[in-house]
Chains A and B, each alone.
Chain A
Amino acid sequence: MATSIKKLPDIEQVLSGNGACGGCPATMALRIVGKALGPNAIMLLTPSCSVASMGMTPKLGYNWPCINITFASAGSSASGITHAVEIMKEKDRLQGELPTVFSWVGDGGTYDIGFQALSAAAERNDNMIHFCYNNEAYSNTGVQRSGATPRGTFTTTTPTGKRQPKKNMPLLMLEHNIPYVATATVAYPGDLYDKVVKAKNIQGMKYIEILAPCYLGWQFDMPETVQMSRMAVRSGAWLLWEAENGKINFNNPSSQIISGKKEAEPVDEYVMKQGRFNRLLKGPDAAQRIAEIQGDIDREIAFMRERAKITI
């Protein structure tokens, strides 16, 4: 059972009045992450919406030491800081507990531009947490396609819909044989909190990916951020799972979809609520396009179901 909302700690690491859009899923998720990590942490940010949300100098919207780094270097910078902190501790220049080093990176900095450095850091198994808040496009620069954009999506660089499916990044990270990989989303804050607490107490490289439905990029109404995130999980478009030492466990409600106790909801409602899909679904090929989107989701569910059976 996930931690109930009333048991979450009071601590706030995201301060009111930052520069994020109203209804931003990234700050929503970062608040929960902050509750789990506490103040003793170092945050690294590659260029993303979260950097713009920090606000204007001399004020800072996040209550951590934050370092802004280049787009491709999330993995390598965090590795360097982890080693520096450990050596400072060894030489008695650092009092108290070791701070948690974590990078807070969008899907561009994880799936595409930052992948090489991240892959290297995972292979070295450096002691850090990599958070990817995945809004399925380069939302900060005006919604261009990324490796996380699903098939049939309108972005400014795919005006007739993306033709390729998205890649399964959490699974790629799992195949690096790192101790902890998890996926989460903003609609299930207790689940996200538990995963971050677990990751904090594990030595080595941890990867947590959070689905963050961006209302500007996905083109739905601003108050429906959490609804859309919940709909993604219920339709099977996003699966909630965690893997400790390579063994995959599905979390509710995805576990019910995987085990077959509950059917995944048809993708139609999820797709029709989002302008990025439904603006391309007005022609005669609409049914075929929805079938393609549904096909990608079904394949992913079937694949992850079989992958979870491998426990060696």
Chain B
Amino acid sequence: MQSVTKAYRPISWPMKGSGGDTGSWRTHRPVVDHQICNKCQFCWVYCPEAVIDRNEITIDYTYCKGCGVCAVECPTGAITMVKEDE
């Protein structure tokens, strides 16, 4: 019997994007207003997807699913949900 090579073993490796480019699931995109943002990092801690950078408060739109938790939890209202263009 032919031995199973490493590529065909049913083993997965930790990698980003295991569910595909999940940014395509989004209907609304979160946009940060850096003028108002006070860098409290609430959005970073509550983001279920780990797409927000805690220091710069920038969002990785490749994987952001657009759930809007960051916009609701933002105490200063610096994050708004903007509808994605078709």
Contact = CB atoms under 8 A, between A and B. Distances in A.
B60 A16 contact: yes
Contact of A55 (B19, B41, B54, B65): B19
A17 B12 contact: no
B4 interface: no
A28 B19 CA distance: 16
Contacts, number: 127
Contact of B18 (A31, A32, A54): A54
Interface in B25-72: 25-26, 40-42, 44-51, 54, 60, 62-63, 65-69, 71-72
Contacts of B71: 223
B6 to A, nearest CB: 10
A170 interface: no
A9 to B, nearest CB: 11
A22 B26 CA distance: 9
A224 to B, nearest CB: 6
Nearest to B14: A63
B27 to A, nearest CB: 9
A17 B48 contact: no
| Residue from B19, B41, B45, B48 having most chain A Cβ neighbours under 10 A | B48
Interface of A: 5-6, 8, 10, 12, 14-25, 27-28, 31-32, 53-64, 186, 189, 222-227
